[in-house]
């Protein structure tokens, strides 16, 4: 049976949307890390980010996931601020 466009979008689960948020955060962090000038620092940060996301990949509790996303966004902002300061 054909599924209409509207019913597809209303059927998106909160888990799917949360997963999209997490993946978007991960990509933003990796993009920011690419801006780090020193190769050793880039490698360290990339490994750190990969391990953090891997360590928490099986989390299911909604509040915990929301908190981790908030913390990740704060760490991303801190990295971006640091990079901006380094360039000025």
Residue 13 belongs to a domain: no
pTM over 0.85: no
Q: Total domain count for the chain? A: 1
Residue 7 scores a pLDDT above 70:
no
* 33, 83 Cβ separation under 8 angstroms: no
Grade residue 14 by pLDDT with cuts at 50, 70 and 90.
confident
Residue 12 belongs to a domain: no
Who wins on pLDDT, 22 or 11? 22
Residue 48 belongs to a domain: yes
Give the count of beta carbons closer than 10 Å to the beta carbon of residue 29: 22
pLDDT tens by residue, 20-60 = 999 999 999 999 999 999 999 999 999 999 999 999 999 99
Residue 2 scores a pLDDT above 70:
no
Residue 56: name the closest of 22, 24, 32, 17 by CA: 22
* 42, 36 Cβ separation under 8 angstroms: yes
Token pair listed for 29: 């962090």
Residue 6 scores a pLDDT above 60:
no
Residue 25: name the closest of 71, 61, 58 by CA: 71
Residue 77 belongs to a domain: yes
Distance, CA of 28 to CA of 26 (rounded, Å): 5
């Amino acid at each position: 049976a054909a599924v209409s466009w509207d019913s597809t979008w209303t059927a998106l689960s909160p888990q799917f949307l949360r997963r999209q948020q997490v993946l978007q955060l991960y990509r933003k962090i990796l993009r920011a890390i690419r801006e780090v000038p020193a190769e050793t620092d880039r490698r360290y940060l990339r490994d750190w980010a990969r391990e953090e996301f891997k360590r928490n990949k099986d989390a299911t509790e909604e509040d915990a996931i929301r908190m981790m996303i908030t913390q990740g966004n704060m760490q991303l902002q801190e990295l971006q601020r640091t990079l901006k300061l380094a360039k000025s």
